[in-house]
Amino acid sequence: MQAQPAKPAPDHPNIVILLADDWGFSDVGSFGAEFATPNIDALAYAGVRFSNFHVAGSCSPSRAMLQTGVMNHRNGLGNMPETIPDEHRGKPGYDTVLNHRVVTIGELLKAAGYRTYLTGKWHLGSDATRLPHARGYDRAFSLADAGADNFEQRPIEGMYDKANWTENGKPATLPKNYYSSRFVVQRMIDYIDEGRASGKPFLASINFLANHIPVQAPDSDIARYSAMYQDGWTALREARAKRAAALGIVPAGVPMVTMSTTPDWRTLDAEERAAAVRVMRAYAGMATAMDREVGRLVAHLKAAGDYDNTIFVFLSDNGAEPTNPFSSLRNRLFLGMQYDLATANIGRRGSFSAIGPGWASAAASPLSGYKFTASEGGLRVPLIIAWPGHADIRAGGISDGLAHVTDILPTLTELAGVSGHGGRWRGGAVEPVTGRSLVPMLKGGAGSVHGDAPLGYELSGNAALFRGDYKLVRNLAPTGDGAWRLFNLKADPGETRDLAAAESDRFRTMMADYRAYAKANGVLDMPAGYTADEQINRYAFEHQGKPRLIRFGLWVGAFVLLLSGLIWALRRGRRAKSG
């Protein structure tokens, strides 16, 4: 039987994971954003910014890899419940929930004597054996769904029948003054304080809903940006690229593509522009509201004397969300019945809004693509790691070496002095950790801990293979044509120049690497005609649309029967009187 890790000494570091939802590569001030994120930026300048860090193109696979250090097809998230085609359900690696063959960072650190807490979005399974309380977290107030309303206990209408919040595995009720970012931080502060007397270090995993659909923010935060965004997404994309270069996040003058799905700002009419400007102001306000809560947490830890001995990790789960929920007449009619869609109400309580592909392209600047795609705008996101009281981590450093979300777990266990599981856990075999510790890069080491080793990825048919400075990538419709392309990310992070023909030997070698990865991880080909967008719509109809139609049909049927009965009774009464 495996020996359990030794209990950590009292001076072992606390760990805070700050996971943003759907933040693009330049959606942080210290990465190029124009909106205010001073508290996250303070962590950036106290630690290291990773400018070449990659996750999955959608939330659950990234979250599963963050929790376990294991690639998504090995941890059960080969696809998500909302996007998996029926043909893949139940196949190995396509559980759509975190499987029981992996060990979470919560389980590892709890076994090593840490207090372990989680608040916010989970989205890795909702049954009793898969909620965070069953996966290593002493206390957890979590949302099992992909997203929910930010002002009330309300689901994303049309996707879920309720907002599935639980505390410690039991259904929970949100407070009346609820706002998502404020709540998940306050609940975490409460957990930390309640366990302080134990003297044990803590793991605090805070999983924000910001900035997932629906985009919503306090009025004062939206008003802060009332003079911005009138010039549109193309101008913003260019401005962010310049700021990112000035900050040293990307090379100066990096070439950029114009994404084919991005509308031309100049063709929008006045009403369309007003709505677009308003939603980006709400998006900026939502980010700033989240940053303020990060600052409140940091201030609390400073006051308690915890700050200097706390490791902070900030990242996003994928690139910015390009989905336009109003792209179909069916959706517009349905959402119009559920929400106040007036332009003046965008971003407020009772609203439903999303930034769409135009602003998402700016959030990814200067990269190509966004959430769902395997392009850099979908996979490359900001990562900040800081340990303010630890001299070995170079404050204000920027690392441009390749890093991956599976690297976070081994990095944190090394920094915490906690043993990994080595593929064995509680007497049984488990999936080995595939990530590599980023500690050498935190200490200023040049290059990447992955060296020239191939690193594969696939989700919903969109796929990539990283090797050194190069990336092999394929995107299916609607954002791609299914063709494989080769890019040198060091020279061309915007993926503007396909090198497949010019470097044909490298292209063939990396294709062989991808095939080996796909075989080893049980990657399945997508059914003909599959798109993630269409699958999400199908999921929504099957889980919400069809039941609502059935209920509506039953209601109409009952009404017709009742009306028919009344008419029959009236006619019978008239006949009786006339007789």
Q: What is the DSSP string of 30-87?
A: GGT-SS--HHHHHHHHHSEEESSEE--SSHHHHHHHHHHSS-HHHHT-SS-TTT--GG
Contacts of 309 (CB under 8 A, 6+ apart): 11, 13, 14, 389
What does the block give as tokens for 204? 């605090």
- CA–CA separation, 278 and 8 (whole Å): 50
Element (H, E) at 380: none
- Residue 482, φ and ψ in degrees, nearest 5: 85, 0
Q: Which of 12, 54, 59, 212 is catalytic?
A: 59
**Helix, strand or coil, per DSSP, at residue 118:** strand
Task: Please count the other Cβ atoms lying within 10 Å of the Cβ belonging to residue 577.
Answer: 7
- CA–CA separation, 215 and 213 (whole Å): 5
Residues 85 and 530 sit within 8 Å (Cβ to Cβ): yes
The amino acid that residue 97 corresponds to is V
- CA–CA separation, 463 and 55 (whole Å): 12
Question: Active-site residue 100, yes or no?
Answer: no
Question: Active-site residue 450, yes or no?
Answer: no
Contacts of 510 (CB under 8 A, 6+ apart): 454, 465, 467, 470, 472, 486
- CA–CA separation, 36 and 395 (whole Å): 21
- Residue 112, φ and ψ in degrees, nearest 5: -90, 10
- Tokens 């769904």 locate to 145
Q: 298-306: long-range contacts (C-beta < 8 A, 24 or more apart)?
A: 298/39, 298/42, 298/43, 300/189, 301/14, 301/16, 304/193, 304/196, 306/14, 306/192
Q: Which of 12, 54, 88, 123 is catalytic?
A: 123
What does the block give as tokens for 123? 């989205």
Task: Please count the other Cβ atoms lying within 10 Å of the Cβ belonging to residue 211.
Answer: 31
**Helix, strand or coil, per DSSP, at residue 257:** coil
Q: Where are the beta strands (DSSP E) in 80-185?
A: 115-121, 139-143, 165-167, 170-171
125's torsion region: left (phi>0), alpha (psi -120 to 50) or beta? left
Q: Where are the beta strands (DSSP E) in 94-146?
A: 115-121, 139-143
N residues, the chain: 579
What does the block give as tokens for 34? 């124009």
Residues taking part in catalysis: 59, 123
